[in-house]
Amino acid sequence: MAQSIWVIGQRGKSGISRATREILGKANGLAGGDSSAVTGVYCGASADGVADEMAQSGAGSVITMTDPRLETYTADFYVSAISHLAGDRKPDVILIAATADGRELAAALATSFGGGAVQDCTELEWDGDTLLGTRACFGGNRTAVVENCSPGAKVFSVRPNSFPVPDAGGGGVSAEEVAPVLPEGDPRVKVLEFIPDAGGTINLLDADVIVSGGRGLGKAEGFKVIQDLADVLGGAVGASRAVVDSGWIAYPHQVGQTGKTVKPKLYIALGISGAIQHLAGMRTADTIVAVNKDENAPIFNVAHYGIVGDLFEIAPALTAKFREVLQG
Amino acid sequence: MKAIVFVKEVAETPDGVSVTSDGQLSSGEGGAFLTDPIDPYSIETALQLKDKSGGEVIAITAGEPRAEKILKEALAMGADEAFLVHDEAASGSDPYATARLLAGAAKKSGDYDIIVVGERAADDNSYAIGPALGQHLDIPVLTYVNEVREFDPENKKIRVVRSIDGGSQVVEATLPAVITVVKGIHEPRYPSLMGIRKASKREVPVWSIADIGEEAERVGPSGSPTRMRSFDPPPPPSGCEMIEGTPEEVAEQLVGKIMDKKIL
Ligand SMILES: Cc1cc2nc3c(=O)[nH]c(=O)nc-3n(C[C@H](O)[C@H](O)[C@H](O)COP(=O)(O)OP(=O)(O)OC[C@H]3O[C@@H](n4cnc5c(N)ncnc54)[C@H](O)[C@@H]3O)c2cc1C
């Protein structure tokens, strides 16, 4: 019999988050397409539309637990609700999107079962009956394949963007509503306020896209073309040490051995030669694009796509094309 | 006020690090070790709480005897006491077994108001210790803290700003609590020469698992729920595909490839 897999649903800007849908799709794949093995579990103040959305992404059944105290995630309430439910239903595997809250929930939930979570997986695969998670260690310099030997449910958190969003299909599942078991008394943690990030100030470490500039920019003003490209991609601006040392941009933007180690989905390096110390900070990016006028620049050794040319011609063309494609 | 800071020794590079037959990281003997780069931020956070509220800061690590060195660095920065949890049976603990050791150490060190740890460790990147401590000690946990807005041990209250996906969240919790901090919460201070000299002369008491009320089978490899099957450098990139043409042609091709691969 297929192992039962739970996917903990998180809300995004509209409906179930993209990361949750990716994981539902993956869970369905892990169940060999047998969606009856995949259950979406959702906690919230209300669960309107949740069952359909989760079913469309691959859940064969959906359990919802609603209570005003579950409106915003807090470990205390979510761990209580989910661990009680898991104690009753005994799922084999629990998958959670590795957002900040998701990683906290994964570790706390797994500990409450007497085990541990395998965090931040970018791949999940069976070895016989054992689910293995692949994850980065040492800032991306090592890849570990990890087995979860916890008693009871095995919890894995999964990095957003690791799997494709499944095509919507199916649906028509009606949720089973379960009354959550929550701690009594005054909550120990109260969420008071959420302040969304202003656009453009995206953290380099969490950015999905980083556009970096090096000495090839010629002068501080050269960063304009980098910023324009980053803006259209909703990305962050990175830099080599040479330009930080020259005072063209502030140190928090520096990528490399003595700067930040980043792992965006897309890293675009313009006018950066690719010194080993720079590579140390970005070589594990999922996709690397290099633009350099020197065809022998070492950056091309780690790039997936290379363009030999003048960045002041290439960058604006890329910006225009991305704008056309992304913003219609 | 009493703050406990948990620190960790990590290998400077992964080169000498391997995985034991029990699936745990083993740093070997020869390599260089340093304080996890996140730890000075945790220590600084605790020291600033002490600067405001008075009291003491206690630094604790679970590890090998050589980890005394990083505890002395914590003392040099200004921690008042330091303890090493070390036991043959505990060597080769994964982050969850380590969290048991640290929870035991926290209980042994008595009434604390706050526990400060890094958001994650630089070697295993497991994001585990803070939330696991919260469960073991049955106290609230606030992860990814980039600012402590209010800290009131008298009235047992803390208010922090968490940096989470898409923005910042202001959260209040009762004390005692665990907080995990991100880099950038405060610039860590440098230890003074005097501090370094004094710290070098301090004895660091060592606690065994019996001292902290743990049992051999709950820690070390046998108490570790996560096991690494392999630990390798990431595969080398598959080679660079050069894209040629006018800037417009190049842009068209590259953007097409990136959209096709669903990178965005
Ligand atoms: C201990 C130590 C630590 C270091 N840490 C870091 C670190 O953390 N991060 C880091 O980045 N560096 C670091 N460095 C510095 C590193 O060795 C390099 O000096 C630095 O990365 C070079 O920066 P760059 O690529 O911008 O400049 P250069 O090496 O000067 O490269 C500029 C590139 O731009 C290209 N170019 C010029 N004009 C154009 C144009 N119009 N269009 C397209 N391409 C153009 C050139 O062909 C060249 O390849 C460190 C060095 C040491 C010794």
Query: In this structure, are residues B132 and B263 in contact, taking their beta carbons and an 8 Å threshold?
Result: no
Bridge partners, residue A147, by sequence: A132, B227
Task: Return the amino acid letter for A254.
Answer: Q
Which residue is closest to B168 within chain A, CA to CA? A195
- Residues of each domain in chain A carrying CATH 3.40.50.1220: 204-327
The number of angstroms, rounded, from the C-alpha of A65 to the middle of its chain's C-alpha atoms is 25
**pLDDT digit string, tens, across residues A46-58:** 999 899 999 999 9
Q: Which residues have CB under 8 Å from A143's CB, separation 6+? A: A134, A135, A136, A137, B230, B231, B232, B233, B234, B235
- Judge whether B185 and B176 are in contact, CB under 8 Å: no
Kind and range of the H or E run holding A252:
none
Across the interface, whether the CB atoms of B172 and A309 are under 8 A apart is answered no
Residue B264 forms part of a structural domain = no
Candidate from A212, A215, A268 with most ligand 1 atoms within 8 A of CB, to mutate: A215
pLDDT at position B41 is 96
Closest CA to B253 of A105, A192, A325, A91: A325
**Does any ligand 1 atom lie closer than 6 A to the CB of residue A242?**
yes
Q: Which of A53-57, A194-198, B49-53, B127-131 has the lowest mean pLDDT?
A: A194-198
| Confidence (pLDDT) at A185 | 87
Binary contact (B170, A286; C-beta < 8 A): no
From A264, A263, A211, A220, select the one nearest A242 (Cα to Cα).
A220
> H or E element: which one contains A231?
helix A223-233
In a 10 Å sphere around its CB, with 0-12 CB exposed, 13-18 middle and 19+ buried, how is residue A253 labelled? buried
Q: Which is higher by pLDDT, A112 or B167?
A: A112
> Of A262, A18, A16, whose CA–CA distance to A160 is shortest?
A18
N-terminal to C-terminal alpha carbon distance within chain A: 47
| pLDDT at residue A211 in the model | 97
B72: tokens are: 């002395």
**Chain B residues inside the 8 Å CB shell of A100:** 143-144, 162-165
Count of Cβ atoms closer than 10 Å to residue B223 Cβ: 23
pLDDT tens-digit map of B217-253: 999 999 999 999 999 987 666 689 999 999 999 999 9
- Which residue, judged by its Cα, is nearest atom 9 of ligand 1? A256
Range(s) of the domain holding residue B109: 2-223
pLDDT at site A201: 44
pLDDT for B73 beyond 80: yes
Look up the CATH number of the domain holding residue B35. 3.40.50.620
Residues in contact with B154: Cβ distance below 8 Å, sequence separation at least 6, in sequence order: none
Residue-level pLDDT at B167:
80
* Predicted local confidence at residue A252, as pLDDT: 79
Q: What is the pLDDT of residue A103?
A: 96
pLDDT mean across residues, chain B: 94
Which residues of chain A fall short of a pLDDT of 70? Answer: 1, 197-202
Reported ipTM: 0.91
The beta-carbon neighbor of A284 closest among B94, B234, B262 is B234
Closest CA to A270 of A235, A233, A297, A232: A297
Residue B259 maps to a domain: no
**A322 to B257: CB separation less than 8 angstroms, yes or no:** no
Residue at B250 is within a domain:
no
Residue A292, ligand 1, Cβ within 6 A: yes
Predicted pLDDT at A281? 84
Fold category of A204-327 in CATH: Rossmann fold (3.40.50)
One CATH from 3.40.50.620, 3.30.470.20, 3.40.50.720, 3.30.470.10 for A5-177: 3.40.50.620
Q: How far is the CA of A206 from the centre of ligand 1 (A)?
A: 23
Q: Looking at the 3D structure of chain B, how many domains does it have?
A: 1
The answer to whether A287 touches B263, Cβ cutoff 8 Å, is yes
* Residue A90 CB burial class (10 angstroms; 0-12, 13-18, ≥19): exposed
- In single-letter form, the type of residue at position A18 comes to R
| Binary contact (A116, B94; C-beta < 8 A) | yes
pLDDT of A186 reads 87
Q: Chain A 87-106, CB below 8 Å of chain B: which residues?
A: 99-101, 103-106
pLDDT at B30 over 80: no
Ligand 1 lined by A294 (C-beta under 6 Å): yes
Question: A119-128, A231-240, B85-94, B180-189: which range is least confident on average?
Answer: B180-189
**Cβ neighbours of residue B221 under 8 Å, at least 6 residues apart?**
B20, B22, B23, B24, B92, B93
Per-residue pLDDT at A200? 41
Chain A neighbors of B34, CB-CB under 8 A: none
Please say whether the beta carbons of A44 and A70 come within 8 A: yes
Task: Sort out which chain B residues have CB atoms less than 8 A from A103's CB and list them.
Answer: 127, 131, 143
- End-to-end CA gap in chain B: 48
The residue nearest atom 31 of ligand 1, judged by CA position, is A273
pLDDT of amino acid A197: 65
| B-chain residue closest to A258, CA distance | B37
The answer to whether residue B46 is domain-embedded is yes
Contacts of B142 in chain A (CB under 8 A): 189
Task: Please indicate, yes or no, if residue B247 is contained in any of the structural domains.
Answer: no
Amino acid at A133: G
pLDDT recorded at residue B237: 60
What average pLDDT does this structure show over B164-178?
93
Residue B216: inside a domain, yes or no?
A: yes
Res A198: pLDDT: 53
Q: Is residue B201 part of a domain?
A: yes
Closest alpha carbon within chain B to A160: B165
Neighbouring C-beta atoms of residue B229, cutoff 10 Å: 15
Q: Look at A100 and B164 and tell me if their CB atoms are within 8 Å.
A: yes
C-alpha radius of gyration, chain B, whole number: 21
Instruction: Name the pairing type of β-strands A130-137 and A142-148.
Output: antiparallel
Q: Do B22 and B134 meet the contact criterion of CB atoms below 8 Å apart?
A: no
Examine residue B236 and state whether it is found in any structural domain, yes or no.
Answer: no
Cis geometry, peptide bond prior to residue B176 (ω within 30 degrees of 0): yes
What is the pTM assigned to this prediction? 0.79
